[in-house]
């Protein structure tokens, strides 16, 4: 279904959730298989091993991509797994700018783990755009923020942050590459954690973000019976690396 042509409520209950082909079941089944039959060498029906993809997970990924207005979605075992996978886009010597009210798990990942691998970070108040400008370096490869933030519910102007990054790093030779895998990147990736707003309230990609992350455990999942993480974007090369 074309997400641009239907309302949010329709996409939320239909995209990625077509009736199951074998039986006509209206709810996407939970496929409890680790492997799939191969029709030949490198020939399958879109699935070969459950770690790389699964029909149930694919349905969720299609749905969240539709709701966020992105080209693709990826699902993870938790919100922190999603954030961690995003940081695999970085290399030793890279610099991150993050919010001074970042979720505790995100802060601990950056402070206790990534610094051991030569990745530096700075914390700023994104409500002060001059503070953000002052924190940017030639080695800054990622800017990550939440809005509203967890726990203090600060609001960040996503469009203003995106405009600063595009202006600051436009045609900058120092940013000719995000990493060896992304040689065409010319500025830091803007990552927005949209957990607290949900795609019903805002779609960060429409405001200039490059990637959207969710702890689907919370508002999307109801914070009671499921733990999950999601990432949505438009850049196919970023998708291929994360996948």
Q: Indicate which residues carry an active-site annotation.
A: 51, 103, 193, 218
C-beta separation of 47 from 202 below 8 A: no
Other C-beta atoms closer than 10 Å to the C-beta of 93 total: 11
Q: How far apart are CA 163 and CA 42, in angstroms?
A: 43
Q: What is the dihedral of CA 102, 106, 108, 113, to 10 degrees?
A: -140
Q: How far apart are CA 138 and CA 140, in angstroms?
A: 6
Q: Which two tokens stand for residue 199?
A: 């795609």
Give the DSSP letter of residue 98: E
Phi, psi of 221 (to 5 degrees): -100, -10
């Amino acid at each position: 279904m074309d997400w641009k042509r239907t309302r949010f409520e329709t996409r939320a209950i239909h995209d990625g959730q077509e009736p199951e082909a074998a039986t006509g079941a209206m709810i996407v089944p939970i496929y409890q298989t680790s492997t799939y039959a191969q029709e030949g060498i490198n020939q399958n029906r879109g699935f070969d091993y459950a770690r790389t993809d699964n029909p149930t997970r694919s349905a969720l990924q299609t749905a969240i991509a539709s709701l966020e207005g992105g080209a693709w979605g990826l699902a993870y075992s938790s919100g922190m797994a999603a954030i961690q996978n995003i940081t695999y886009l970085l290399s030793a010597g890279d610099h991150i700018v993050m919010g001074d009210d970042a979720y505790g798990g995100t802060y601990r990942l950056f402070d206790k783990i990534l610094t051991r691998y030569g990745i530096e970070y700075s914390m700023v108040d994104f409500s002060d755009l001059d503070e953000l400008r002052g924190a940017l370096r030639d080695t800054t490869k990622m800017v990550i923020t939440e809005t509203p933030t967890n726990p203090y519910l600060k609001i960040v102007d996503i469009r203003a942050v995106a405009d600063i990054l595009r202006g600051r790093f436009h045609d900058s030779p120092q940013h000719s590459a995000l990493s060896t895998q992304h040689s065409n990147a010319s500025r830091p990736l803007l990552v927005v954690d949209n957990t607290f707003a949900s795609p019903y309230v805002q779609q960060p990609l429409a405001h200039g973000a490059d990637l959207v992350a969710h702890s689907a455990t919370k508002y999307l999942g109801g914070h009671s019976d499921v733990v999950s993480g999601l990432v949505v974007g438009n850049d196919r090369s970023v998708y291929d690396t994360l996948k």
